[in-house]
Structure 1
Amino acid sequence: MKLHICDNKSSAEKACAEIFIKHLQSNPKANLGLATGGTPVIVYNFLVKAFHFSQISFRHIKTFNLDEYLGIHALHAQSYRSFMKKHLFDHVDILPLNCFFPCEEINYDEAIKLNGGIDIQLLGLGTNGHIAFNEPGSSFDSSTRKVKLSDQTLRDNKRFFQAGEFQPDTAISMGIKSIINAKEIIMLVTGEHKAKALQQLIEGNITEKFPASILQAHSNITIVADLNAASLLSETAELIGC
């Protein structure tokens, strides 16, 4: 596990984006695993800028999103399809047929396998240790499936919905085994509210009660964090400067 601690949120986001830009430059036909939510927005902004400066192209890229809500239409403003279109897809040269999302109608894991697997997976970290929508108690051997969202996750995501608006409590999520199968994983963690979760991820035991802990066993994972998120780590963690 590689840990990059940056001095602030902005530098952490930029450092994470630079990893993806370098990967796309070296592998212009990569399969990307993508995340949604508040964490990756600025990362996607950097990727869009890199595209407009002709540093990267998405023409031959395929993307596989981690999850999607159930109970709202794909065109709903809070669907993850809409999120990806708003923050990335509508601003680059990616082909719509190369953008994949989990749904109940297809075998998502088989689709990933048939396309050669995920080359680089972007992850965020839930305050309760969830990755994608794999809540505490999820099996490390889980595949893509329908999941019930925890009360903590619903509270964390409530800010994305208008007051009184329907908020889905179920989703389709890539499983933990599916995530771990990615050849490379990049996790971005920022903010003091993620400090306890990051500490448990890095320094705690591997347990299904804290799904992200399985990442300790991945052979090629880089965690990019800011000082606030890293504030509870042991003194052996060092600031590398981003």
Structure 2
Amino acid sequence: MRLFTLGARLLTAAVFLPEGARVADIGTDHARLPIWLLKTGRADSVMASDIADDPIRRARENVERWGVGTKVRLLQCAGFDGYRPEDFTHGVICGMGGDTIAAILDAAPWTADGAHTLILQPETAARRLREYLYTHHFKIMDEIAVIDGSRVYTVLKVTGGEDPHGADPLYARISYPLSLQRDEAAGRYFLRARRSLEREMQGMAVDSAAYRDAEALLSRMRELEAQNAKGI
């Protein structure tokens, strides 16, 4: 049976994982990522979990169908509730809202101990997720914008530690690693971030300090777009 192809978001998450990583896939649903990692030899075993009955049932059916049932340990739990810190080196949370991801991390503060690497793919509220990470002793090691279907998404690689860029308001909207990306996906993400700021500015008093700060931030975001367009 020919192995399926991962979409851009899950494939980017998979690429962030080193060979031999001990992986925990949170919110695994159909267990596509664990199956792909095992069938391609990037992982020897994977733990995977979901909070609801149906996703766990589908995951169990799929791992058996693909012949990796003995290499995937399935858990039914919320977030990291069913895991011990020593169970994995790399945790993956894909396809959830940024606020939900932040809540999962908040319930497991040991994930910021520096011994774990987390791959996070927020569907929404990426800015609030970054703000949470910066203020809860996480640092963003890498972040990549990807086009999946007709939309642009972002995938983050984080670990515990102080982020040197966390105090800069630009990097809540576009992280420092993401600001260095130069391609169509980055350009679309930068544009979306700028338009979001412009909408916020419409509700500000033009003579306020907040508006002046936003203008300075807007100028930096436009410069990022220009650099991306020039490939510099």
Q: Which has the larger radius of gyration?
A: 2
Greater share of residues in helix? 2
- The structure, 1 or 2, with the larger RCO (C-alpha pairs under 8 Å, 6+ apart) is 1
Structure 1 length-normalised TM: 0.45
Structure 2 length-normalised TM: 0.47
